[in-house]
Amino acid sequence: MDAQTLVDERGELWLALAPLWLEREPRETDYARMVAVIQRHDLSVRELEWVFRLELAPVLARHQMSVAGEWRSFDDYKLMKQLVAHNLRLNGWRRKSWALFSGLTTMMTRHRWNELMGRVLVERGEMP
Protein backbone atom coordinates (compact mmCIF):
# COMPACT_ATOMS: atom_id res chain seq x y z
CA MET A 1 0.00 0.00 0.00
CA ASP A 2 1.32 3.46 -0.84
CA ALA A 3 1.19 6.64 1.26
CA GLN A 4 -1.69 8.26 -0.65
CA THR A 5 -3.85 5.16 -0.30
CA LEU A 6 -3.19 5.12 3.46
CA VAL A 7 -4.17 8.79 3.76
CA ASP A 8 -7.29 8.24 1.67
CA GLU A 9 -8.39 5.15 3.60
CA ARG A 10 -7.35 6.02 7.15
CA GLY A 11 -6.41 9.71 7.36
CA GLU A 12 -9.79 11.02 8.49
CA LEU A 13 -10.14 8.22 11.05
CA TRP A 14 -6.61 8.71 12.42
CA LEU A 15 -7.06 12.47 12.86
CA ALA A 16 -10.49 11.99 14.44
CA LEU A 17 -9.10 9.53 17.02
CA ALA A 18 -5.90 11.48 17.82
CA PRO A 19 -7.58 13.55 20.59
CA LEU A 20 -7.67 10.38 22.70
CA TRP A 21 -3.96 11.03 23.33
CA LEU A 22 -4.22 14.73 24.17
CA GLU A 23 -3.44 16.02 27.63
CA ARG A 24 -7.05 17.00 28.30
CA GLU A 25 -10.01 14.67 28.49
CA PRO A 26 -12.03 14.60 25.27
CA ARG A 27 -15.15 16.76 25.30
CA GLU A 28 -18.62 15.56 24.34
CA THR A 29 -18.11 17.21 20.95
CA ASP A 30 -14.83 15.29 20.50
CA TYR A 31 -16.53 11.98 21.25
CA ALA A 32 -19.47 12.83 18.97
CA ARG A 33 -17.08 13.62 16.10
CA MET A 34 -15.12 10.41 16.70
CA VAL A 35 -18.30 8.32 16.67
CA ALA A 36 -19.51 9.99 13.46
CA VAL A 37 -16.19 9.35 11.69
CA ILE A 38 -16.06 5.76 12.93
CA GLN A 39 -19.57 5.17 11.60
CA ARG A 40 -18.55 6.46 8.15
CA HIS A 41 -15.64 4.02 8.05
CA ASP A 42 -17.83 1.02 8.83
CA LEU A 43 -15.19 -0.96 10.73
CA SER A 44 -16.00 -3.65 13.27
CA VAL A 45 -15.10 -3.11 16.92
CA ARG A 46 -12.32 -5.67 16.48
CA GLU A 47 -10.91 -3.82 13.47
CA LEU A 48 -11.11 -0.54 15.37
CA GLU A 49 -9.20 -2.09 18.26
CA TRP A 50 -6.35 -2.96 15.91
CA VAL A 51 -6.36 0.54 14.42
CA PHE A 52 -6.06 1.86 17.99
CA ARG A 53 -3.36 -0.58 19.08
CA LEU A 54 -1.21 -0.95 15.96
CA GLU A 55 -1.79 2.02 13.68
CA LEU A 56 -2.17 4.86 16.19
CA ALA A 57 -0.79 4.02 19.63
CA PRO A 58 2.87 3.45 18.67
CA VAL A 59 3.07 6.95 17.18
CA LEU A 60 0.82 8.88 19.53
CA ALA A 61 2.13 7.31 22.75
CA ARG A 62 5.52 8.85 21.92
CA HIS A 63 3.90 12.28 22.09
CA GLN A 64 2.61 11.52 25.57
CA MET A 65 5.90 10.16 26.83
CA SER A 66 8.08 12.93 25.43
CA VAL A 67 9.08 15.55 28.01
CA ALA A 68 9.53 18.12 25.26
CA GLY A 69 6.57 16.88 23.25
CA GLU A 70 3.49 18.95 22.64
CA TRP A 71 0.31 17.09 23.40
CA ARG A 72 -2.21 19.82 24.02
CA SER A 73 -2.81 19.79 20.27
CA PHE A 74 -1.32 18.20 17.17
CA ASP A 75 -0.03 19.61 13.93
CA ASP A 76 -2.24 17.52 11.62
CA TYR A 77 0.22 17.57 8.72
CA LYS A 78 3.19 16.50 10.86
CA LEU A 79 1.10 13.88 12.65
CA MET A 80 -0.18 12.46 9.37
CA LYS A 81 3.39 12.17 8.05
CA GLN A 82 4.41 10.26 11.20
CA LEU A 83 1.37 7.97 11.02
CA VAL A 84 1.88 7.21 7.34
CA ALA A 85 5.59 6.49 7.84
CA HIS A 86 4.81 4.15 10.75
CA ASN A 87 2.05 2.33 8.91
CA LEU A 88 4.09 1.87 5.74
CA ARG A 89 6.63 -0.04 7.86
CA LEU A 90 3.97 -1.96 9.83
CA ASN A 91 4.38 -5.50 8.57
CA GLY A 92 6.03 -8.75 9.57
CA TRP A 93 8.02 -8.59 12.79
CA ARG A 94 7.13 -4.91 13.38
CA ARG A 95 3.42 -5.70 13.43
CA LYS A 96 4.01 -8.59 15.83
CA SER A 97 6.23 -6.47 18.09
CA TRP A 98 3.70 -3.65 18.30
CA ALA A 99 0.91 -6.15 18.96
CA LEU A 100 2.98 -7.61 21.80
CA PHE A 101 3.72 -4.20 23.37
CA SER A 102 0.39 -2.55 22.58
CA GLY A 103 -0.72 -2.84 26.20
CA LEU A 104 2.04 -0.41 27.16
CA THR A 105 1.34 2.04 24.35
CA THR A 106 -2.40 2.11 25.03
CA MET A 107 -2.53 2.06 28.83
CA MET A 108 -2.71 5.84 29.25
CA THR A 109 -5.66 6.14 26.87
CA ARG A 110 -7.45 2.82 27.42
CA HIS A 111 -10.15 4.41 29.62
CA ARG A 112 -10.92 6.94 26.87
CA TRP A 113 -10.97 4.21 24.23
CA ASN A 114 -13.38 2.14 26.31
CA GLU A 115 -15.67 5.16 26.70
CA LEU A 116 -15.56 5.75 22.94
CA MET A 117 -16.28 2.11 22.10
CA GLY A 118 -19.25 2.17 24.48
CA ARG A 119 -20.63 5.16 22.59
CA VAL A 120 -20.02 3.46 19.25
CA LEU A 121 -21.91 0.37 20.40
CA VAL A 122 -24.83 2.49 21.61
CA GLU A 123 -24.87 4.35 18.27
CA ARG A 124 -24.95 0.99 16.46
CA GLY A 125 -27.75 -0.29 18.67
CA GLU A 126 -25.58 -2.97 20.26
CA MET A 127 -25.04 -3.68 23.94
CA PRO A 128 -22.09 -1.78 25.41
Res. 72 pLDDT band, cuts 50 70 90: low
* pTM listed for this prediction: 0.88
Alpha carbon distances (Å) from 76 to 58, 70, 94, 100: 17, 12, 24, 28
pLDDT at 1: 78
Per the document, the length of the chain is 128
- The SS3 assignment for 58 reads helix
Residue 63's pLDDT is 74
pLDDT in tens, 2-45: 899 989 999 999 999 999 998 889 999 999 999 999 999 999 99
Q: So what's the pLDDT on residue 22?
A: 87
Dist CA 128 CA 115 (whole Å):
10
How big is the CA angle at 126 (ends 123 and 128), to the nearest 5 degrees? Answer: 90
- C-alpha 23/C-alpha 25 separation (Å) is 7
Per-residue pLDDT tens over the stretch 49-67: 999 999 999 999 887 665 4
CA 67 to chain centre: 21
Q: What is the mean pLDDT of residues 83-92?
A: 93
Q: Which one has a higher pLDDT value, 15 or 74?
A: 15
What DSSP line would sit under 67-112, residue for residue?
A: SS---SS--HHHHHHHHHHHHHT-SHHHHHHHHHHHHHHHTTTHHH
Predicted local distance difference test score (pLDDT) of residue 32: 98
pLDDT band for position 95 (cuts 50, 70, 90): confident
